[in-house]
Amino acid sequence: MRVAVNLAVCQGHARCEDICPEVFGTDAVEGKCVILTEDVPEALRDKALLAIRNCPEGALRKLGDK
Amino acid sequence: MSGAYFPPAPDHVPPERIVDFDFFAVPPGLEDPLEIWRELLRRDVPHIFYTPRNGGHWVFLDYADVVEGYRNHALFSTYQTPIPPLDPFPVVQPQGVDPPEHNVFRRLLAPLFTPIAIRALGDELRSRAQKLIEPLAARGSCDFITDYAEKLPTGMFLHLMDFEEERLPEFLALSNTFFRSTDPEERGRNLEEIFAVLNAHLSAKREKPWDDLASAIACGTDKAGNPLPWGDILNCGFLLFVAGLDTVTNTMGYIWRYLAATPEARAYFRRYADDRAMLQSGIEELLRINAVSNLFRRCQSDFVYKGVQFRRNDRVVLPNNIANRDASIFERPDEIKLDRAVNTHVTFGVGPHRCVGSHLAKHEIMISLIEWFARIPDFELAPRTGDVGAFGGSVMGFRTLPLRWTV
């Protein structure tokens, strides 16, 4: 599975990083989302999906999803 | 204030959308001022309504509309929004400015409040929390508001801005008057005092900068490298002063009040003291249910939104606490589930003005919970002698929270 962030929508709540720090980080300048792994390992799939659902801005999605 | 006289609403407001509601007025004896919002829901009022109280303003009650109020700055501006209207009122930077102009100051503040920057403050925060809690633990009782919830965020503000630690009582007094005084003369004087303190400090920092928040603002430049207007710099300092102290104090007051009354919740935080993910979900849920801030917006023009006519300069109140209890977004919204899996609360707002200090606030709460439970694993509400001092307005809370425990 792959995930993507829309940085025009991300406002740096960092809920993704809280929930799944293996996949999502934040940058040091604006505090916006940084995707840390191109491919999300199967073992982290559920956690990464939960992080996506917790974004208050709807700035994250699973690639292939619209 | 509520009274027998009910002021008229402007002509564009249809009678069926007029509700008599005063979010500053807490009925005598009510201990939880957030109840006045929930009482409103029980009255089955329209979810977009107008009250003529406090100068007259709209209120949005649904999550979707509160979010729209935050995101759609073409309709709902953050510029000059005080309720009741207060003139002149400083244009606070960057909170009181719409995008893209708000980015001039947001850009200065953002790097200092990222999760990375806040994690680096962990040791400082922990030692401050310990220093406050240790003497209390031995005492067996405290007033949580005055002994802890006011002191931690205000002390942290002094640290970040590089003010002398000894000035804590002075800042507590300034902040209390700013948020609670209803006397216009006292409010005017208080505003002058706050600006005098900021002017002296930021001027000194501009002369001799250091690696602190005050210097970052005082020496701030625009993208071309030109110094920013001094008035804007002062107003940015003012924002940090008013936005970061009272909100955290009152949120913590609510959280500890709930914990003191709820053994299962205390057990949860003891059990998960070392489990970051469970701690965080517990804190997010406590933030959802105990959102204390009501944000204001001002209509940019005449427009129709969801079939309702709004006029330029109409004010709108966005109650985060009610948005956070919208059943179309949150499963069993009135139930407090510390392990709630999906929780997109708007306690810190959404959109371009998302609370820049949210990560500091959360870190202050998390470290406080860890250090408190390590030293005071069990506690309860203590009997009160006087009134709880509940207050409404832009930030809701109470002035006293006596707690006790076995030593």
Q: CB of A14 within 8 Å of any CB in chain B? A: yes
Mean per-residue pLDDT, B264-287: 97
pLDDT > 60? residue A56: yes
What's the pLDDT at B1? Answer: 46
- Contact check, Cβ <8 Å, B115/A57: no
Q: How many CB pairs under 8 A join A and B?
A: 55
- The candidate with the shortest Cα–Cα distance to B388, out of B399, B377, B397, is B399
pLDDT > 70? residue B87: no
pLDDT > 80? residue B88: no
Question: Mean pLDDT for chain A?
Answer: 95
B76-77 and B294-299 beta bridge pairing: antiparallel
Mean per-residue pLDDT, B369-385: 96
Q: pLDDT by residue (tens digit) across A4-47?
A: 999 999 999 999 999 999 999 999 999 999 999 989 999 999 99
Across the interface, of A13, A26, A53, the residue whose CB is closest to B116 is A26
Helix residue ranges, H only, B144-183: 144, 151-161, 168-180
Residue B238, min C-alpha distance to chain A (Å): 22
What's the pLDDT at B98? Answer: 87
* CB B171 within 8 Å of CB B152: no
Residues B145, A29: Cα–Cα separation, whole Å:
34
Residues A64, B14: Cα–Cα separation, whole Å:
46
- Contact check, Cβ <8 Å, B114/A12: yes
What's the pLDDT at A16? Answer: 98
Mean per-residue pLDDT, B275-296: 97
Residues B155, B347: Cα–Cα separation, whole Å:
23
Joined together, the tokens standing for residue B266 give 């205390």
Q: pLDDT by residue (tens digit) across B40-73?
A: 999 999 999 999 999 999 999 999 999 999 999 9
What's the pLDDT at B2? Answer: 47
Residues B117, B119: Cα–Cα separation, whole Å:
6
- Contact check, Cβ <8 Å, A13/B348: yes
B88 preceded by a cis bond (ω within 30 of 0): yes
- Contact check, Cβ <8 Å, B116/A30: no
For the ranges B80-84, B294-298, B387-391, the lowest mean pLDDT is seen at B80-84
What's the pLDDT at B279? Answer: 97
Beta carbons within 8 Å of A37's beta carbon, 6+ residues apart: A22, A23
In this structure, the number of other CB atoms found within 10 A of the CB of residue B103 comes to 14
pLDDT > 60? residue B4: no
Q: CB of A37 within 8 Å of any CB in chain B? A: no
Q: CB of A13 within 8 Å of any CB in chain B? A: yes
What percent of chain B has a predicted confidence (pLDDT) above 90? 82
Q: CB of A20 within 8 Å of any CB in chain B? A: no
| Stronger pLDDT, B245 or B375, i.e. the higher one | B375
Residues B220, B225: Cα–Cα separation, whole Å:
9
Burial B152-166 (b: 16+ CB within 10 A, else e): bbbbbbbbbbebeee
What's the pLDDT at B84? Answer: 78
Q: How confident is the model at residue B86 (pLDDT cuts 50, 70, 90)?
A: low
Across the interface, of B280, B284, B354, the residue whose CB is closest to A12 is B354
> What is the model's pTM?
0.95
- Contact check, Cβ <8 Å, B342/A50: yes
Sequential DSSP letters for B24-50: T-PPTT-S-TTHHHHHHHHTT--SEEE
pLDDT > 60? residue B111: yes
Q: CB of B113 within 8 Å of any CB in chain A? A: yes
Residues B394, A17: Cα–Cα separation, whole Å:
30
Q: CB of B63 within 8 Å of any CB in chain A? A: no
